[in-house]
Structure 1
Amino acid sequence: MADNDPYTAPETLGVLNWHEGDMPYSSAFDDHFYCRNDGRLECGHVFLSGNGLPARWQRQEPFRIAELGFGTGLNLTETWRQWQETAPEGASLHFTSFERFPMARADIDRALGHWPELDAQRARLTEKWPDTPDGRIEIDLAPGVRLTVVCGVALQSLAGEKIPFDAWYLDGFAPSRNPDMWSADLMAEVFRLTVPGGRFGTYAAAGFVRRNLAAGGFTVERRPGFAGKREMLCGEKPAA
């Protein structure tokens, strides 16, 4: 659709278009925000399964997930949905995402409205989402579930973090269209901010991405990708 689509919130005019009704498309990176087959199922295949979830969060110790690229909030809401169904009583989840161009509330609502399975999570997220998203956004979504979105350039944002994460969702736009999000420097920061035995998952399988992850210190595994895509990557930070 054109940039003057009346359903696009003013904050994202010029960088966000809509394809096929409710499929968000980034004009800045010339790419869709998620898999056109079914982004929710792709999240489960790539990010949750690639990180060994929900099995790894069966514990009382707080579980920390980090993500490169918040986008529509799809990965958050699907993870939260599965957490609600499977996490042990009294457990806590902290989901942190690093996003350069945060979407407006109306656009998040429109994009996530595609999945009725996520209606409860979508409603809560959009209720709490700030009118002008910037800086460091902190939201208590539910008892034991906290969201942090750090707005800005990913490499600079990660440099300011100190507490490592148990799992990483590497979900920037395609490496060919956004190579900075897959750079050796950024992958080294991801490794630094991963607990020993922590994991990552990504739909990306480009050779330079695999090499940068391995150079950063991860053991890297290739797996079949989602919806007929030949490969995806996942891996682990070796235990100390």
Structure 2
Amino acid sequence: MDLLTLIGLAIGTAALLGGNFLEGGSLQSLLNGPAALIVLGGTIGAAVLQTPQANLQRALRLGKRIFIADYPAFDSGIKQVVNWAVVARRDGLLGLEPLADKEKNRFARKALLLLIDGNNTQSIRQTLEIDLIAQEQRDNNAAGFYESMGGYAPTIGIIGAVIGLIHVMQNLSDPAQLGPGIAVAFVATIYGVAFANLFLLPIANKLKQSVSADSLFKELIIEGIVAIAEGENPRSIELKLQGFLPRN
């Protein structure tokens, strides 16, 4: 479980509810079932309408990264590549076959197989970069599903407020109902803006950062495999790949 995600959600929610309380409001004033239905249903419906099925399915799978940190371990990746280099220098490229068979990472397995098959460095780099770019594009499109919801939510909230005001206008003959009715109408706007800016847009940005980290890790694999194919010393490969490590 990603603790920072929970902390961020807790701080945002506490700030919203705390500010409402300090202004003299109550929790009851922010609870409105019809407004929630309009905002949630309308936002999800609009986002689903614009999203191809493949991207929608991928977005749902990618969504698990919201609460479960899934960033690649660059230090372990470097050690793994250096180990490949040591095995290749000691046993030749065919000595990497057992490692390729056991490799769980699809991209790393593909890289090893290209190396074992004796492809030249240009062909290896080109093939892997095509894979990287295509995968990154698919994942960014999936993250865009949440970003699109963040764009629709405030507008759907305004629609909900207008619907509420229509009902208020129908009760103009009863002035006592105007104040509470208008307050309830604008709850939909709060839902839309809060849902977008406290949840959906941060989620989309977080997923895009995760996708970017995955792509950077794949670049590490590419550079390592190409270096092995060129016969570089394992120690030199390690020093080169250390540039991928995050710096504080």
TM-score of the superposed pair, with normalisation by structure 1:
0.24
Higher strand share: 1
TM-score by length of 2: 0.23
